[in-house]
Structure 1
Amino acid sequence: MRIFYLLIVIFILSLPSAIAQKNILKGTILDENQSPVVGASVYLEGTVRGVQTDLTGNYILKDFSKGNYVLKVNMIGFKDASIPFSINDKESKELNIVLEENLLLLDAFEFSVSRGIMGQEKLPEVDNFRINAARKNEVIRVGEINANLAMNNSRQIFGRTPGISIWENDGSGIQLGVASRGLSPNRSWEFNVRMNGYDITPDPMGYPEAYFTPPMEVVEQIEIVRGASSLQYGPQFGGLMNFVMRKPDKSKRFSFETLNTVGNNGLFSTFNYLGGTEGKWNYTAYYQKRIGNGWRENGYFNTDHAHVEVNYAASNKLKLGLEMTYMTTESQQPGGLTDEQFKQDARQSTRSRNWFSTPWFVPALTAEYIVSENTKLSWKTFGTFAERNSVGFMRPINLEDDMGNRQLDRDFYTTYGSELRMISDYRILGKEQTLATGVRYFNGFIDRKQQGEGDAGSNMNFDLVDGGVYRRDLDFSNINYAAFAENIFRFSDKFLATAGVRLESIQSNMEGRFNIINGQEIPLNPQNRTRNFLLFGLGSEYRLTPNTEFYTNFSQAYRPVLISDLTPPATTDVIDQNLQDSRGYNFDFGYRGGLGTYLKFDMSYFYLNYADRIGTIAQVDPNGTIYQYRTNLGNSVSQGFEGYVEFDPVTAFFKSSRYGYVHFFASIAFIDAVYGDLATTIVSNGEIIPGNLKGNRVENAPRKINRYGVTYQVKNYSVTWQLSDIGDAFSDASNTLEPNAAATVGLIPAYQVQDLSGSATFAKKYILKAGVNNLTNTMYFTRRAGGYPGPGIMPADGRTFYITLGLKL
């Protein structure tokens, strides 16, 4: 870890001397009133070279080849400017430009500056080597949200995104558990989780998914594409969730920011960021330290995050990049509670010896190449070298800890992959069309060691006792090849359609020891599977007015048989040798856009078909012995409404106000997730009694997910109040109402939670943030865990507060 930090420092100190300047282009960008235009994009057309104007409107481009160029300048609210010029080696040239206001966009620009915080947008039709047209998607602009970012408070961060269900059992902010449309929030595994467009997880198709979550203080935006991402990214029913990290400052050689947060329960967090651009190079790096005792007893956490990114313009058409992300965690797990314990005191804990840790290292190499004016290539190669470690007393929560040796489980992940993408524009019948294509390779290996005998102590220790072994020792490998092609067909200025296909090939292998009984090893029957198939998708958009559009999309999805599906929980269980992948599709139909500069909305209907769900039923063998049989049982369907609206009444009625602006938002969703024909069995008095889940609600799927909020902003001060109103849910497919003694099944009650957060900026560089989460100290829970980190009820945090002081240079 020290070497990691040292490399960052050496790079920053040596950067200026490493650059041999060939030439310089500089200047100032002004508006028609001779005022500087801040943050304008200034770049050389047809190249990878570009910067932004600083606080005085100045820009500088260094060290590019001699030749003839076109300097492009664009900024919302102004007309684009194009200035041809030529430059020689070692020449210094100055180009000052006055931008002309664009009256068609100026009102929108003024609105974006004066309005309350607007933290939700949608992706453009085409960007970053992908097609987004005709898709239900959201962009969460994290920096524009008043929220407890130091603790990755997902309830606030996803507050404006309709239909997102959240497991709020990890107050440390280490793990993120979110889902949509009735799917499971367990470690966000129904999403394809990426960072800067590449995978950050050991198995991007299922378990285990998101053990790593980047600090929200450095996340620029979160991009969510609902289930229709299967053509360009992966097959998940949930779609894509991509964390876009803050990019290097293109207006300065050096910029620095520090945010330091304190709160109750011993919370302390320090976040430090630096970045800049010098000639052909740009860089960014951050370090975050977060430590606290947690809201519950036995809830200590200590995390370190570090990241560095370096980009180099090797030529006018080629840009190379290197990224490295590192995380270490030390987390004490309070465990679950019984229903009676939760009613008595939700902060109590009967597990003082349970610990969890996930050291994580993710390196990535990237390259972008401009083939021609209409064609670009992107290449990313990435890896994950990580662990998942837990030690503790794992018996049911209604059993007292015997203070004996603890159970030790460890996973070791080694993965690497590569993805090549091309995007190209071409013309047919006088209209510009867009084609996106790509190929992908992924190789993942998981070494799983479980049911080891740990020590009898209370501290975090992941060593076996002397002479101890792991009773379960399994090896899993997954190799994935994929290729996709998708095209936008623009038939007119108002109507377009998209069509695409994805070819998938998955090779899975599993072998090892399942258990040791009475000193005898029980091997696991080796599993080898290869699957090849196609996925298809269609979509369309119709622009009803310049600012509103109808959209619809159909996209196939699937979830392959997971390693957990192929691992029987007991030696007597039997796995169906013909176990099939779960298949299905997503369908969306919606209407989105805005009215004037004061109203934004997105209303849509969705339908998600999840076929060939995997489950376990009891059967009788020829000898009359009852055994559990895991096979494909049936399907479920989720359908409903997702709506988002935000409204600025001050701008609507008065256009501007020196007394500030009020901004309202509502994110509402109704989700009807039910099982279809899904066979079940129970064993009673030695006999099998068949049943069916048809009509039962899918577990962990609230029917109502509503969030409302209001922001008041005046100059550089703002405050946001948010209400989360979430319906009840069942913890099991049988829809059990009354909880069992171990609290692993039973109803998850509805709840309402309020949050209040504010921020202020002084002299453009001093930052103050503060807030109270769970304002009314509501006692609630969102999860009943059957195993780790429970078992039992996992309470959400009660009232907490935080205050952040920052400096930006």
Structure 2
Amino acid sequence: MRVVLTTLCLYLLGMSLSLAQRNVLEGKILDQNQQPVEGVSVSLEGTVRGVQSDSEGRYVLKDLPEGEYKLKAQLIGFKAIVQEFQIGKEEKKTLDFVLLEDEIWLDSFELLASRGMNGQGRLPEIEDFRINAGRKNEVIRLAEIDANLAMNNSRQIFGRTPGISIWENDGSGIQLGVASRGLSPNRSWEFNVRMNGYDITPDPMGYPEAYFTPPMEVVEQIEIIRGASSLQYGPQFGGLMNFVLRKPDPSTRFTAESINTVGSNGLFSTFNYIGGTEGKWDYTAYYQKRRGNGWRENGFFNTDHAHLEVNFAASNRLKIGGELTYMTTETQQPGGLTDAQFAEDPRQSTRARNWFNTPWFIPSLNADYILSPNTKINFKAFGTIAQRNSVGFMQPITQEDDLGNRQVDRDLYHTFGSELRLSTAYSLFGSEHNLVAGYRFYKGNIDRNQRGVGDAGSDMNFDLVEDSYPRDLDFDNVNHAAFVENMFNVTDKLLLTAGLRLEHISSNMEGVLNTVNGVPDLLIPENRTRTFALLGFGGEYHLSKTTELYTNFSQAYRPVLISDLTPPATTDVIDPNLQDASGYNFDFGYRGSIGTYLNFDASYFYLNYSDRIGTITETNTDGSRYQFRTNLGTSVSQGVEAFVEFDPITAFVGSSSFGYIHLFTSLAYINAEYQDFERTSVVNGEIVSRNLAGNRVENAPRKINRFGATYRYKNFSATWQLSDVGETFSDASNSIEPNENATSGLIPAYQVQDFSAAYTFQKRYSLKAGVNNLANESYFTRRAGGYPGPGIMPADGRTFYLTFGIKL
């Protein structure tokens, strides 16, 4: 809190200083019909200074050092204008512009006005400090889709993104569990999860589970770069998932918004936001409160999110800023169910005393510096001070809660990271090329305490009855990485990329693995140091102005995590000889648009995952079965991902006074299988051999298909969506029949529908409503071996929501 107050005081001081400045550049931007144009980007070339025009077309830039400048005004749909000017000390100058429409974009503007096909986009070939060319990537623009954002409904948010598998056991929306291409959705840990470009997980190289997810009401877009992101972001097989929050409004000194939602099961959510720009300063802040009783019994949740961002243009070339993000949660965990219990009533719960808590604090600093018109650098420093706390009755779901002392498990996370990036454009052989390079340092510490003896109560209480934890482990991880990548513009149609990343990871784990009768069982210290290189290359060939072929190849790496080395709080058993995994991703695809009525992206992918860490069902001497986590040899995932969005009215009629209908389809066929890997086990005193070859990878459905239709008329929109997901297995043994504890067995296929609608009036008021799981299907996407299970984790049934928003 002291840090927040200090930052606010500095902000207010800066505001007062900026108000005193007399050097001002201002103006008004009109179109050919002399109407004001809102949202025009107005920037000084070669500097960090820039704003946007407001609803009256006005813009203001304050406190410019005297000198000569080039002012650029641009907005999609209009031709960019560059105007040279000179400004003196304490001078007030006015520059007005008239923007001319760009004929290339005239048809697209008609499409944009219908707001039907903007929810799914792609990243530019190069922007800021990264190269995106040749990569399979998606940009989800949340303001353009109909979805239950108050509850972070993943089915709707990722509805247009092909191949995204989702664990839907967290109806509170606090934690996001997504994956692609046969990877595990467990808290999105196969992705490098970032917010505004910096890490928000406990440790990407040691424990990358995403316990923190920002409220979707403040997320402007979600950027997904598949496995080929490993060169620039780290070696994760899944690639990058970056949440980009709304930035300070550059067109006004102050704006405010309040979004309030009520819904089924006592849901109440309030999201409140302010932001603006004044002179050299800009700021934004939000607070969200969300609580409800959950769809299942014993499913209460109560969350608070807060965020503050302040930026300052220290000079024309240097901009610095800081962000503070805080989250605290109080969630009751209903626990898992057996197959019989799920069939009887998926809403029931036999765990009334299980609680989960994740206080999360993320500070960050950011600096942009322009070295020259073609070269700029960015520096980020960030950290995480957080906890993962649970208390409850942790025994298998077949055991009744004895109402005795509960088990307490607590993780403490303290991490620090920094990234320095350079981006430059240069000329060679008559063409302009681009180079991006960077260095990264990351240090993480995890203090893991498990199996503590807690109280016998029913409320959330993490205090111990006894003084110490039987398991007390300390995990340190240090990561150095450097990368360089170049984009070569070979011809006007062909570009190639090539790059290299060097990684150095040093991990150490020590402590007490268990304590029996007061005697500690010390863990043999685990010390691992790895240094390796990752190679990658790709390319694009533009068949036309709006369509292109793309391809990429990129190596990947997954170090053994602390969660791999230590068993969860319940039933899984861990192989002590786990090894790191490595492999590569390959993509080849065709994407683009035809006219203004068809967007598409279809691609083939191949993912090789060597020494994959997974779970296999083993048999005890008494005949009982348990989950064994070990290296399972090599798995190969290959298949097709395709997205198509079609506007039949624009295609066949051109325009309509009755609105537009957009149809979208997101298809994925994923064949994820293990290769030759022989296993032996003892069953009834005899050695039994088996081979995983041909077995399907766990948590990897072969089909993930989503279909939808959106109707839009002026300020009204409505979207229906169907998710059709195939069956999958919960272990590498491909067990079909469930075990007694419901931790292994088949996860059946399912279909679920969602409907949402939105209406905006007078530009500042909005109403949204919807029904999730329209047909009230009973299904589940996960069998958990540990917390928050064990057992079947049911997905939510039918729920309703209603949202009212106001902007000032």
Q: TM-score, normalised by structure 1?
A: 0.96
Match of 2:731 in 1: 732
Which structure 2 residues correspond to residues 357-376 of structure 1 after superposition, within 5 A? Answer: 357-376=357-376
Given residue 785 of structure 2, which amino acid in structure 1 is its aligned partner? G
Q: Which moved more, 1:508-517 or 1:200-209?
A: 200-209
| 2:203 match | 203
Does 2:652 align with 1:653?
A: yes
Deviation at 1:612, TM superposition (A): 1.6
Q: 262-271 or 101-110, which moves further after superposition? A: 101-110
> 1:16 deviation in Å?
3.3
The residue type paired with residue 186 of structure 1 is N
Structure 2 residue aligned with 1:479: 478
- Tell me what 1:45 maps to: 45
| Mapping of residues 94-109 of structure 1, within 5 Å | 94-109=94-109
Asked if 1:663 corresponds to 2:686, the answer is no
Paired-residue identity, %: 70
Q: Which moved more, 1:317-326 or 1:686-695?
A: 686-695
In structure 1, the partner of 2:264 is 264
Query: 1:55 — aligned with what?
Result: 55
CA distance in 1, matches of 2:614, 2:504: 24
User: What's the CA shift for 1:23?
Assistant: 0.6
In the other structure, the counterpart of 2:601 is 602
Query: Which residue in the other structure is 1:714 paired with?
Result: 713
Answer yes or no: is the 8 Å Cα contact 2:53–2:59 preserved in 1: yes
CA contact (8 A) 1:665 1:708 kept: yes
1:308-347 alignment, distance < 5 Å: 308-347=308-347
SS of residue matched to 2:612: strand
Q: Deviations over 1:688-731 (max 9, x none)?
A: 32211110000010001000111111111111111001101011
Q: In structure 1, give the amino acid aligned to 2:805.
A: G
Q: Which residue of 2 aligns with 1:624?
A: none
AA of the residue aligned to 1:279? G
How far did residue 9 of structure 1 move?
6.0
| C-alpha displacement of 1:683 | 1.9
> Following superposition of structure 1 onto structure 2, how do residues 551-570 of structure 1 map, counting pairs within 5 Å?
551-567=550-566
| Residues 115 and 662 in structure 1, CA contact (< 8 A), matched pair in contact too | no
Amino acid at match of 1:325: T
How far the C-alpha of 1:633 sits from its partner, in A, is 4.2
Distance in 2 between the 1:629 and 1:664 partners? 44
Which residue is 2:188 aligned to?
188
Deviations 1:756-781 (A, max 9, x none): 00111110101111111001101110
Letter in 1 for 2:421: R
139-148 vs 681-690, which moves further: 681-690
The amino acid of 1:326's aligned partner reads Y
Match of 1:441 in 2: 441
Partner residue, 2:682: 683
Q: Deviations over 1:139-163 (max 9, x none)?
A: 0001111100000001100000000
What is the CA–CA distance in structure 2 between the aligned matches of 1:164 and 1:630, rounded to whole Å? 24
Structure-2 residue corresponding to 1:575: 576
With 628-637 and 377-386 compared, the bigger mean Cα shift is at 628-637
The match for 2:402 is: 402
* 2:49 alignment partner AA: R
The amino acid that maps onto 2:425 is D
**Separation of aligned partners in 2, 1:121 and 1:217:** 19
Question: Aligned partners of 1:631 and 1:726: how far apart in 2?
Answer: 27
In structure 2, the CA distance between the partners of 1:25 and 1:547, relative to structure 1 (3 Å rule), is same
CA distance in 2, matches of 1:434, 1:689: 57
CA distance 1:616–1:237, shift in 2 (3 Å): closer
Name stretches of at least 5 consecutive residues in structure 1 with no aligned partner. 620-626
Q: Which amino acid aligns with 2:545?
A: P
Structure 2 unaligned blocks of 5 or more? 619-625
Q: CA deviation at 1:385?
A: 0.2
SS at match of 2:253: coil
In the superposition, the TM-score normalised over structure 2's length comes to 0.97
Query: Is contact 1:618–1:683 with CA below 8 Å preserved after alignment?
Result: no
CA distance in 2, matches of 1:314, 1:276: 17
> Post-superposition shift, 1:655?
2.0
1:370 and 1:377 in contact (8 A); partners too: yes
Alignment of 1:449-464 (within 5 A): 449-464=449-464
State the shift of 1:542 in Å. 0.2
Q: Distance in 2 between matches of 1:617 and 1:571?
A: 10
CA drift of 1:107 comes to 1.6
Residue by residue over 1:152-179, the C-alpha shift from the partner in whole angstroms, topping out at 9 and shown as x without a partner, is: 0011000000000000000001100000
Q: 1:521-600, aligned counterparts within 5 Å? A: 521-567=520-566, 575-576=576-577, 579-600=578-599
* Per-residue deviation, 1:632: 4.2
CA distance in 1, matches of 2:371, 2:11: 31
Task: Give the whole-Å Cα distance in 1 for the aligned partners of 2:114 and 2:510.
Answer: 61
Aligned to 2:770: 771
- Offset of residue 468 of structure 1: 3.6
Task: Look up the match of 1:794.
Answer: 793
**In the alignment, which residue of structure 1 is the partner of 2:638?**
639
Secondary structure of the residue aligned to 2:233 is coil
Matched, 1:509 2:508: yes
* CA distances 1:204-242 after superposition (whole Å, capped 9, x unpaired): 135342000000000000000000011000000000000
Counterpart code for 1:766: Y
Change (3 A) 1:618 1:765: closer
Q: Letter of the 1:172 partner, please give it.
A: S
Change (3 A) 1:107 1:7: farther
Cα separation, 2, equivalents of 1:121 and 1:573: 42
Structure 2 letter corresponding to 1:291: R
1:115–1:663 contact (8 Å) kept in structure 2:
no
| Shift, 1:679, TM fit | 2.5
Paired with 2:177 and 2:632, the residues of 1 have a C-alpha distance of 26
Deviations 1:543-563 (A, max 9, x none): 001100000000000101222
How far the C-alpha of 1:685 sits from its partner, in A, is: 2.6
Q: Quick one: distance in 1 between partners of 2:575 and 2:294?
A: 41
How much has 1:27 moved relative to structure 2?
A: 0.6
**CA separation in 1, counterparts of 2:268 and 2:384?**
28
Count of residue correspondences: 798
Preserved CA contact (<8 Å) 1:575 1:630: no
Q: How many Å separate the matches in 1 of 2:454 and 2:717? A: 51
How far does residue 658 in structure 1 lie from its aligned partner after superposition?
1.3
Could you tell me which residue of structure 2 aligns to residue 491 of structure 1?
A: 490
2:116 matched residue in structure 1 = 116
**Which moves more between the two structures, 498-507 or 196-205?**
196-205
What is the 5 A alignment of 1:244-255? 244-255=244-255
Distance in 1 separating the partners of 2:208 and 2:334: 22
CA–CA distance in 2 between the matches of 1:83 and 1:665? 42
Shift of 1:398: 1.2
What residue identity is the alignment partner of 2:607?
A: L
Cα distance in structure 1, aligned partners of 2:189 and 2:798? 29
Distance between the aligned counterparts of 1:628 and 1:769, measured in 2?
A: 44
Which amino acid in the other structure matches residue 788 of structure 1?
Answer: Y
Q: Distance in 2 between matches of 1:631 and 1:351?
A: 30
Tell me the distance in 2 between the aligned counterparts of 1:396 and 1:319: 54
Structure-2 separation of matches of 1:226 and 1:483: 20
In structure 2, C-alpha distance between the alignment counterparts of 1:572 and 1:614, rounded to whole Å? 13
Residues 568, 761 of structure 1: alpha-carbon distance in 2 compared, 3 angstrom cutoff: closer
Distance (Å, rounded) in 1 between the aligned partners of 2:528 and 2:671: 34
| In structure 1, distance between residues paired with 2:86 and 2:74 | 20
State the distance in 2 between where 1:45 and 1:268 align. 46
Q: State the shift of 1:628 in Å.
A: 12
Q: Secondary structure at the match of 2:400?
A: coil
- SS of equivalent to 2:341: helix
Q: Which amino acid aligns with 2:285?
A: A
Within-5 A mapping of 1:60-75: 60-75=60-75
Corresponding residue number in structure 1 for 2:89: 89
Aligned equivalent of 2:621: none
Q: SS in structure 2 opposite 1:229?
A: helix
CA shift digits 1:367-394 (9 cap, x unpaired): 0000000001000000000000000001
Say if 1:262 and 1:615 are closer, same or farther in 2 by CA, change over 3 A: closer
1:265 alignment partner, SS class: helix
Contact 2:205 2:479 (8 Å CA) reproduced: no
Report the equivalent of 1:162: 162
Superposition deviation, residue 654 in structure 1: 2.1
Q: Distance in 2 between matches of 1:107 and 1:386?
A: 49
| Equivalent in the alignment of 1:240 | 240
